[in-house]
Amino acid sequence: MANIVIVGSLVAGLLFQYLSPGVAGVVSVAGTPVVTVLLVLVGVQLGVDLRWITQIHSHVRETILISVSAIIGSLAAAALFASVDPALTARETSLIASGLSFYSLSTVILERSGLHSLALLCFVTNLFREVLSLSAAPIIARLFGVLAPIAATASASDSGAPIIIRACGQDTTILCVSCAFVLSLCVPLLTSVLLAF
């Protein structure tokens, strides 16, 4: 039931923007403070229940597994996508995928490199990736296991942590933060390396 309500909220937001863009533009400013409060509350939940400390050693292995999967899987899928869509080359799709949901940073890097149209596609693709993976997190978790939503969300798993925790359980909180940290560091590195080719 909660999954339907979450997807319903997203659709309501999209419709609101579509029907009254002026008001929605003003309302969307509240996004940052709301996420801020939500993340502090996620931290409070962690602080109140300290059982996660006993499982920290297994989190290191899982963080590496998820981060490597998110990078290799994204780049491989992007390269495959280029073979289906003749309008884009494998380099271009890989550059877009190297954003790993970190749309603000990857778009700026591409924009500064003079790839303006690719930067726009990169922004929309990575934004869609974040929105889709977070709204589908409960379904992904049910079909592929509790680690899959974190790999799907990639570097946005920290800001989306409340949604992932709701779908996958309290144990995934540390994984969300650690994977987002590792993947956020990898984005500028990956994009720069791919730009050099």
Partner 1 sequence: MRFLALIIVGGLIGGILRTRLPGIRLLPTVMLWLLLLTVFLMGTEVDLRLLGPDLILRAAALSVAVMLGSIACLLILHFLFRNYGKHRDRR
Considering the rule CB under 8 A, would residue 5 count as an interface residue with partner 1?
yes
Considering the rule CB under 8 A, would residue 186 count as an interface residue with partner 1?
no
Residues 6+ apart with CB under 8 A from 72: none
Closest approach, Cβ 194 to partner 1, in A, equals 14
Considering the rule CB under 8 A, would residue 189 count as an interface residue with partner 1?
no
Closest approach, Cβ 125 to partner 1, in A, equals 4
For 79-96, give one letter per residue: b (16+ CB within 10 A) or e: eebbeeeeebeeebbbbb
Among 63, 106, 107, 125, binds partner 1 (CB under 8 A): 125
Considering the rule CB under 8 A, would residue 107 count as an interface residue with partner 1?
no
Closest approach, Cβ 2 to partner 1, in A, equals 7
Give residue for tokens 């890989």.
94
Size of the site for partner 1 (CB under 8 A): 88
Report the 10 Å Cβ neighbour count for 113. Answer: 14
Which amino acid, one-letter code, is at 75?
Answer: L
Which amino acid, one-letter code, is at 155?
Answer: S
Closest approach, Cβ 54 to partner 1, in A, equals 15
Considering the rule CB under 8 A, would residue 109 count as an interface residue with partner 1?
no
Among 59, 63, 95, 97, binds partner 1 (CB under 8 A): 97
Considering the rule CB under 8 A, would residue 91 count as an interface residue with partner 1?
no
- Using the minimum distance from each CB to partner 1, give the nearer residue, 15 or 193: 15
Among 1, 4, 22, 50, binds partner 1 (CB under 8 A): 50
DSSP H helix total and E strand total for the chain: 11, 0
Closest approach, Cβ 53 to partner 1, in A, equals 11
DSSP state letters, 59-115: HHHHHHHHHHHHHHHHHHHHHHHHHH-TTS-HHHHHHHHTTTT-HHHHHHHHHHTT-
Considering the rule CB under 8 A, would residue 73 count as an interface residue with partner 1?
yes
Helix, strand or coil, per DSSP, at residue 20 = coil
- Using the minimum distance from each CB to partner 1, give the nearer residue, 184 or 191: 184
Closest approach, Cβ 164 to partner 1, in A, equals 11
Report residue 99: phi and psi, to 5°.
-65, -25
